Amino acid sequence: MKIIGDSLPNIPWQEKPAGAGPLWRYTNNPIIGRDGNKRSNSVFNSAVVPYNGGFAGVFRCDSRSISMDIFAGFSDDGINWKIDDEPINLVGIEDEILRREYRYDPRVFYMEGKYYVTWCNGYHGPTIGMAYTTDFKTFTQMENAFLPFNRNGVMFPRKINGMYMMMSRPSDNGHTPFGDIFVSQSPDLTFWGKHRFMMSTVNGDTSAWQSTKIGPGPIPIETSEGWLMIYHGVITTCNGFVYRMGSALLDIDEPWRVKARTKDYILAPHELYECVGDVPNVVFPCAALTDAATGKIAIYYGCADTVTGIAFTTVEELLTYTREFSL
């Protein structure tokens, strides 16, 4: 079981403590609190990548007026972050594309010489915004990928059979009480089609934690066994939604074909900072750093829609668990 990709010797890391599950939390979580920049009410559901020997990222910072926007940030070690005080200024060729309603829950990845960003973009309702950058200073906005309503747009980090591919979770205009994952394909990152169903929610008697809705999380990790995907699942309880994490193994050439998928969750809101916040009982993964040399994985996740944490695993640990406790 190997990660296909680059080595990352400075990946954030802590060894697995005795008795831990398939993911274990950083002991100094949360790594980013509410006050990530000068006006932030909360910093969560954000994405990071290796950059220039350190790390760069795009962060969801909700303001103290509770507006939602995305901000660039930088770190030497992937743990201590300096986030810009001003939101990302997107440039493009059409004012219609640049109109701003809201921006949240970004993902970031490197492909073909550029860093691409996807996020939930307000355009007469939520859809999937796209942009690219080379320096995390100038971001060029592209066409929205889909019609509203859609959330959780997560690209695969390379072409598959000559096509770009993106996972998404079609939705409604509110706090969607439903949701399955689909894969869409594009020859040029502008026109998207050939939509394929990937996977659905699960009957509550079988795996209740993912019975209301599901959505893709970090950029999928290419492995010797297929694409390793980390996702979130939601259950509706008497106290509202509860978000947990799961993992799935996807076919390398037809990633909408699920080879294995966890029946048991891999991480749930158990710690105080995951259970108490603006939206209680949420762990929401948006980014994963990987080291192909050692198989280490560091997952960045939003906690209670308020702060940011890290959890750790290895490719062997997570793939073994995914298969052992598969639906």
pLDDT, tens digit (0-9, with 9 covering 90-100), for 186-196: 999 999 999 99
User: 163 falls in which pLDDT band (50, 70, 90)?
Assistant: very high
Residue 123, both tokens: 């355009």
pLDDT at 122: 97
In 3D space, the residue among 113, 109, 55, 65 whose CA is nearest the CA of residue 87 turns out to be: 65
| Interatomic CA distance for residues 137 and 119, integer angstroms | 17
| Interatomic CA distance for residues 182 and 165, integer angstroms | 10
User: Which of 3.30.450.20, 3.20.20.410, 1.20.140.10, 2.115.10.20 would CATH assign to domain 40-324?
Assistant: 2.115.10.20
The mean pLDDT of 225-244, rounded to a whole number, is: 97
Residue 51, both tokens: 């950059």
Please determine, for residue 171, whether its predicted confidence score (pLDDT) is greater than 90.
yes
Domain definitions of the chain by residue range: 40-324
List strand residue ranges (DSSP E) for 27-102, in order. 40-51, 54-63, 68-75, 82-83, 90-91
The model's pLDDT over 29-68, given as tens digits with 9 standing for 90+, comes to 999 999 999 999 999 999 999 999 999 999 999 999 999 9
Residue 166, both tokens: 């993106």
